[in-house]
Amino acid sequence: MPIERTDLDRLQAAYKVAVELWIAAIRDEENLATPDHSIVAWEHWEQAGFKADEARDRANVAKEAYKAGLRLLDYEF
């Protein structure tokens, strides 16, 4: 069953949002790499890294959903 263009547009938009959130998480992590070499600062930086990893995983899930939609459009499977 082919996919509707509106569904494909929704999948693409969800992917773009997920990528933007991933970029923001990476920037948050980068901003925590400061001259403060304390354990507390390091822990905050480490937590930001975990959040960036989670955001990347969500972006990859959204990407795969969008790719699946494209396959339905192009190949109808």
Write down the pTM of the prediction.
0.86
Task: Look up residue 5 and give its two tokens.
Answer: 């263009």
pLDDT at 9 over 80: yes
Q: What domain range includes position 37?
A: 5-75
Model pLDDT for residues 27-66, shown as the tens digit of each residue: 999 999 888 889 999 999 999 999 999 999 999 999 999 9
Residue 73 pLDDT grade (very low, low, confident, very high; cuts 50, 70, 90): confident
Mean pLDDT over each residue of the chain, to the nearest integer? 94
Written as six digits, the tokens of 20 are 């933007």
Is the model's pLDDT at 6 over the cut of 90?
Answer: yes
Measured from the Cβ of residue 36, the count of other Cβ atoms closer than 10 Å reads 11
